[in-house]
Structure 1
Amino acid sequence: MKKNYLFLLLAVLCINAVQAQDDAPVSVVKNQFKVNLLFPAFVYEHGFDAKNTLYSEVTLGVGYRYSSYYGTSWYVFPMINEQFRHYYNLEKRAAKGKRTARNSGNFLAASAYYNFESLNTNEKYGNYDPSFTLAALWGFQRTYKGRFNLEVHLGPGVNFDKYDTEFVPVTNFTLGWVIGK
């Protein structure tokens, strides 16, 4: 008789544990590392709670500038990007059976970029001075099987440098891999 009660108790606990896993809230990953390929970058994304992360990136940026006097110039510069992200559609994606693993979802972000002095500073390409950009972004991130990662974000920003303050479009497209667990 005691074996039957013990078996019943274990069965109830197991059923509750399985049901709790099915009803578990969908949330962002606590720690995620990525390597981007298009423009070499290292990314760390730290999850604070179920929907919010701090995204930190060190990368090389590419810029374009046109002036009627100097003409067209392209420049390459090291950049640090910090974003506070809010993933707003994880539950909706999960309910539709879509992937939410490794922060696969849409997000809104407050972003701060620091662009260092350009690496190509000869007369042909011009010089790009350090600048700081604040931006409000919308974007999405998808991590597929094999940990292949795609990310796009865009939005309006304000750029500050020693000469000027101006409104700028902020866009980013990355392809890479999530590394680690």
Structure 2
Amino acid sequence: MKKKYLIVILFAFLINASYAQDEAVTSVQKNQFKVNMFLPGFVWEHGFDAKNTLYSEASLGLGFSSNSNESNFAFFPQIVEQFRHYYNLEKRATKGKRTAFNSGNYLGLVAAYNFESISTNDKYNEAVPSVTVGALWGLQRTYKRKFNLEFSAGPGVNFDKYETEFVPLVNFTLGWVIGK
């Protein structure tokens, strides 16, 4: 009989402990490090109040351009800075959805420095460094075992030594959150 009570108490404790790890969080992480695997890179996201973060990334970028004769894909190292405002953490928490590790939707401003391309079609255009600025809408989800998925899109402007042009900004990353 005592074994049954002990098993019930232990089982209740384990269930309670597993739910405690998924408690609703309605503010962003103070510091969060991530490793991106799709286009390799490292991210540090610093929360400076309950809903706003500064997102800093060093990674490999992918670009596409075309003219009437040819199209071109280019891979280039880049440094990205974003200001993010997470606007739906309370709503997600109320619905019982995961909000840990900044799992929510955000609006953001982005600035990126794109270094010279490391692979490009020489017939198309000279690969030169550029700066891109824009506005984003995005979503970030961090699942159990800290698997991270992120998507963002918005309008942007790209500046290089030859031209200034409007560009669509689209980003998709897969990776893992490192640390607690």
TM-score, reference length from structure 1:
0.83
Per the TM alignment, residue 160 of structure 1 is displaced from its structure 2 partner at its CA by 0.8
RMSD of aligned C-alpha atoms? Answer: 1.5
> 2:143 & 2:39 partners in 1: Cα distance?
20
**Residue pairs, 1:156-175, within 5 angstroms:** 156-175=155-174
What is the match of residue 116 of structure 2? 117
Q: CA deviation at 1:66?
A: 1.3
1:77-88 matched pairs, under 5 angstroms: 77-88=76-87
Q: Does 1:95 align with 2:98?
A: no
Match of 1:105 in 2: 104
Q: Give the secondary structure class of the aligned counterpart of 1:27.
A: coil
Identity of aligned residues (%): 68
Instruction: Evaluate the alpha carbon distance shift between residue 122 and residue 152 of structure 1 in structure 2; reply closer, same or farther with a 3 A threshold.
Output: closer
Question: Which residue in 2 is equivalent to 1:59?
Answer: 59
- Correspondences of 1:1-181 after superposition (within 5 Å): 26-69=26-69, 71-120=70-119, 123=122, 126-181=125-180
Higher alpha-carbon Rg: 1
Distance in 1 between the 2:163 and 2:122 partners? 21
- 2: CA distance between counterparts of 1:144 and 1:89? 17
CA positional deviation for 1:57: 0.4
8 Å contact kept, 1:75–1:125:
no
CA contact (8 A) 2:25 2:93 kept: no
Report the secondary structure of 2:34's partner residue: strand
Structure 2 alignment gaps of length 5 or more: 1-23
Structure 2 Cα separation of the partners of residues 146 and 127 of structure 1:
43
Instruction: Classify 1:33/1:125 alpha carbon distance in 2 versus 1 (closer, same or farther; 3 Å).
Output: farther
* Matching residue's letter, 1:92: K
Question: Residues of 2 paired with 1:64 and 1:115: CA distance?
Answer: 13
The amino acid that maps onto 1:136 is A
Cα 1:125–1:148 shift into 2, 3 Å: farther
Assess, with a 3 A threshold, how the Cα gap between structure 1 residues 154 and 97 changes in structure 2: closer, same or farther: same
Q: Say whether the 8 Å CA contact 1:132–1:159 is kept in structure 2.
A: yes
TM-score w.r.t. length of structure 2: 0.83
